[in-house]
Amino acid sequence: MPADKHILSRFDEALEALRGDVLMMASLTEKNLRNAMRCLVDRGSNLCSATIADEGEIDELEKSIDADGVELLRGFQPVASDLRQIVSIIKICSNLERIADQAVNIAKRCRKLNRDPNPSDTEQINAMFAQAIGMVQDSMSAYRMSDVNLARSVLERDKMLDQMNHDLATTLTTTMGLVPERITDYLNLLFIARHLERVGDHAENIAEDAIYAASAEDVRHNKVQA
């Protein structure tokens, strides 16, 4: 095999391995986020502790992907299209790690809620979770399949999640005045809602990177006027 073809083959294999690692990281992150919400629904403190501990594996994957990505950039000096792929992977990796951080924050809040024998109302939180996890799944599917239209749909849905967070904050703030003895519980629910809203922001970032990887279009900071 000629030297240039051999180098290209090595690069393709390394890039595919890097893609596989970020997809595995996405799977672990989604699992952690689901477990964090199970802490709230099932009120299992042991699961909360496990969710917090599991973040370590995701953190290690982030460091490994970052190092491998930098090594690809340094060792192969890729052309524009391949350079986009590597940069997008590194940025997606960072957003996945931050989603995992939010899962840990949710688990910690749930652990506090679980100290109260009276379960809190979680229906609106569950609706926010469904929206947020759907955005994470679809943003990664858009990246995996180079589906620009799916990625754009994630960007549009972030506004819906923001509105859900706003509506829930209004409801909980009103309820605090009616049931002052549960203020601490409702504050924890407010924080959980905020963490889910941040998950949506990171899913939106991943969708933007999916668009960039697939089409070289930078859609960051593009605001649609109402």
Q: Are 17 and 69 in contact (CB under 8 A)?
A: no
pTM: 0.90
The larger pLDDT score, comparing residue 40 to residue 166, is at: 166
Residue 188 neighbours by CB under 8 Å, 6+ apart: 109, 110, 112, 113, 120
Q: Report whether 168 contacts 57 (CB < 8 A).
A: no
How high is the mean pLDDT of the chain? 88
In the chain, where the domains are located:
3-215
Size of the chain, expressed as the number of residues it contains: 226
Which CATH code, of 3.10.20.30, 1.20.1630.10, 3.40.640.10, 1.20.58.220, is assigned to 3-215? 1.20.58.220
Average pLDDT over residues 115-120: 64
The predicted structure's pLDDT at residue 16? 93
The DSSP output letter for 129 is H
pLDDT of residue 226: 37
CB-based contact 99:136 (threshold 8 Å) = yes
Taking only Cα atoms into account, the Rg of the chain, rounded to an integer number of angstroms, comes to 20
Torsions phi, psi for 83 (to 5 deg): -60, -40
- Taking only the tens place, the pLDDT of each residue in 68-95 is 999 998 888 888 888 999 999 999 999 9
Burial of 48 by CB count in 10 Å (0-12 exposed, 13-18 middle, 19+ buried)? buried
pLDDT at 224: 47
C-beta of residue 193 within 8 angstroms of C-beta of residue 128:
yes
168: confidence class by pLDDT, cuts 50, 70, 90 = very high
pLDDT in tens, 13-71: 999 999 999 999 999 999 999 999 888 887 777 888 888 888 889 999 999 999 999 99
* pLDDT score at 29: 95
**Closest to 186 measured CA to CA, from 170, 210, 162, 205:** 170
